[in-house]
Structure formats: C-alpha cells, structure tokens
Amino acid sequence: MERQLRHPQGPAHIIRLTRRGPDAFVRQAVRATAAAVIAYLVAQQVSSSPQPLLAPLTALIVVQVTLYATLTSGVQRVASVIVGVLIAVGFAHLVGLTWWSLAILIFASLALGRVLRLGPAVQEVAISGMLVVGVANPAATAQGRALETLIGAGVGVLLNLLVPPSVYVQTAGEAVDKIADQLSELLRSMAREIQQGASAENANSWLSEARRIDREFVRVDVALAKAEDSLRMNPRGRQLLHTRLILRSRMDTLDHCAVSVRSLCRTLVELSGGPHRRALLSDEQLTVLLEGLLSCLADSFDTFGAIVTTEITPDTKPHRDDLDHALAQARMHRDAAAQLLRSRVWRDPQGWELAGALLAAVDRLMADLQVGTRPSGENRTVTPHFQLGWIPRLVARRGATTVRAIRKWMAPAAQSRRRATLPSPPGPS
C-alpha cells in the first residue's frame, strides 16, 4: 500500500507555522541579533556605562527558540543577577574581599540559587556576586548590572511577544511518523525474508532492529517536549493546541506496538532455533500466510503514519478507513495462520506455546493500532479549575477508600472478638 496524504493540504498560514523549513536557523539568528542590538541601543540611553554590553548579552541569552523558554529564561536571568548583586553588596560592606569571604560568597550564592530554583541561571548568581564585590564602588556597579540585565531581559521577552517564534509541531509529527516508517520497513523485511526462507541469522537481525527502533523513542520524546513547549503561551499555537494530546497519544501507541514487534521477533528467533521448529518456518503454506500477515501489518503502520500527519493539520480529515481495511486483511491472515498452526503443532506442547506467543503478539499489535487511532483528548470536555463540582466526588472516593482501609485493618481484631464470644466445644466426659 502506498502511503497517502503524506503532505496534507490545509490553510496555508497553518502549514507554514507547523513546518520547520530550512530557514528556521536564520529566523532564530535574526531574532536574537535584533534583540541584542535593540537592548544595546536602549541601554546606551539609560545606563551610565559607556559600553553597556551586559544588556545585549542578556538579550542574546534570553531569546530562545520557544516563547515559554524565553519567558522562563528571562525571569531566571533577572532573579539570578539581582540575588547575586544583593549578596555581593552585603559582603562588600561587611567584610570586603578576601579569600575566605570569596569562598563564602560563592557557596552562599550557589546555595541560594538552588533554593530559589533558578535552573541553568544558578551559576549567574555567583558570577554576578564576584563581579560586583571586587570593584571600588560595589553599589553603583550592582545598580548598573541589574539595570542592564533588566533591559536585556525585557527586550528579549518583548521581542518574542511581538514576533512569536514558530511552533515545532511538524518536527514532532515527522519524528512520530519516522518511527511508524521504521516499524513498517522492519515488518516488510521480515515478510520478504520469510517468503524467501528465513534463517536463524535473519531472525536475530530482526530482533536487533526491533531493539534499535525501541531506543529511537528517546529522540521522539525530546521532539514532542520541544513541540509542547513551543505551543505554550504562543499565540501562533492557539489553533494547534489539540496536537499535543494527539502526538503524545500516537507516540504511546507506537511505543506499545514496538514492544509487541520485539516480542514477535523474539518468538521467531526461538522458532528458528531447532530443526523441528525451523520446519514451521519452512512450511510453504505457513510462510505464505505469515508473509501476507506481516505485509498487512506493515500497511497498517504506513496508514497510521499518514493519519498522524493529517491529524496535526487543521481542516484535514484522517482516513481511518484505510487502517481498518489493512487491519481486517491482517486479521484474516492471522486467523488462517492460527488454523494452520493448530494442525501443525498440536502434538508438540513447546511448539504450541511458541505459536501461541506468536499469535498473542500479533493480536496485541493489531489491538494497539485499532485503539491508537481513535480521536483522543481534542474532543473531550475539560472541567475548568474554577468549577468545584468535582470536590464532592473526590471526597466520596477518598472516603470510600478510607472506610475500606479501616475495615481491612480492623478485620483481624473483629475475628478475634468473634471467636472469643463463641462457646467452647464440650470436652470429653
């Protein structure tokens, strides 16, 4: 089955927002450069320093690829500088600069930055403190440093608010789609090699590839996290907020499918281990059915990837009927293979166990694909936080749980009291 709807058509401005494009680096570089230059010009008019380079430096650091990261970085940067200069001014007035006061200053700055959860800007607390405590006029230097930092952070945040950065939904969708492609290619390779006569080496290579695909989910999770951050507080992402739930749900589905594919490959490795078991994979009728089954599953993953591509684009309708058709074809091959396996291995308990594991892995795979493309949280009604109707239900659930726990805890004591009240059996006369 050829992949359909790889590049869905939708509103042009939405398509431009969701696609990464080759000029993403250029846009980010222009935004950071503009923020730094504007911050420098503003600082020249406000600050008393002849060369207020801290303002453009702060703007350059604050401007991130996502609006949420820019706001977070700006707040952390300003807080770290203010905390650092306050500590430095206090040390300069109390003890001055010595080796032991410098050690206390650095340790206190780092500890306070950790307590305030300043994240990557923790080091900036100590750096600001050291730069201020060693000058002749700490108070004036602290004031100038704090002012330039505020200017740089303010310009960086304001620029990203006025010109919001792009969202990275398309990048995350491509990462999820690539996993579906890799699973499809693996299943097609398995179908082709089984039809040609699979060996133990082929089965081991399938298992190795399945494990490699499983490790790819770390990269996909990073791409999804970046896409989710790019949508937070971004006015450009208002029409794409539903894609967060869609992409996360589809990645979870593929994660479950990858586990089933790995289990399927491991079962085929065991089936190819001994002469008697290898005879199953050499059976002409069974190889034809397995080839058809694996090919239909590969078609299902192709269609699944196309569905993901269309779901993240507004005003496009995913073709779930294609997936239903591919899974129906796979189910027909699965049932025929089950009948044939039952007639081949009914006298071999261990062989039937492996055949059952093979069919169970296929069943899990088809079930995950069937359930994984249902419309997810985009149509779900979410109760706002200011509505308090959930409180009685929560109290009732917690109360029922507490009552059950108390009854379970008191059950032994109640049984003891019950035994004590029963009359003792009559002894021998």
- pLDDT at site 347: 63
Lowest mean pLDDT segment, chosen from 49-63, 207-221, 229-243, 406-420: 406-420
Instruction: Name residue, tokens 């890799």.
Output: 182
- pLDDT at site 201: 87
Is the per-residue pLDDT at 188 higher than 60? yes
**Percentage with pLDDT > 90 across the chain:** 23
Q: Which amino acid type is present at position 31?
A: R
In this prediction, residues 156-185 reach a mean pLDDT of 88
Is the per-residue pLDDT at 426 higher than 70? no
In this prediction, residues 339-349 reach a mean pLDDT of 74
Instruction: Name residue, tokens 């002749």.
Output: 136
Q: What is the pLDDT of residues 39-59, one digit of tens each?
A: 999 999 988 888 888 888 888
Angstrom distance (rounded) from CA 247 to CA 131: 46
Tokens of residue 23, six digits: 């000029």
- pLDDT at site 2: 41
**Percentage with pLDDT > 70 across the chain:** 75
- Do the Cβ atoms of 57 and 351 come closer than 8 Å? no
- pLDDT at site 375: 61
Instruction: Give, in words, the CATH class of 169-379.
Output: mainly alpha
Residues 6+ positions from 237 with CB-CB distance below 8 Å: 17, 167, 169, 230, 231
Sign of torsion over alpha carbons 310, 311, 313, 315 = positive
- Do the Cβ atoms of 312 and 243 come closer than 8 Å? yes
Angstrom distance (rounded) from CA 56 to CA 59: 5
How many C-beta neighbours within 10 Å does residue 418 have?
9
Angstrom distance (rounded) from CA 132 to CA 82: 11
Q: What is the pLDDT of residues 271-298, one digit of tens each?
A: 877 655 566 677 788 889 999 999 999 9
The domains of the chain are located at 25-162, 169-379
pTM reported for the whole predicted model = 0.67
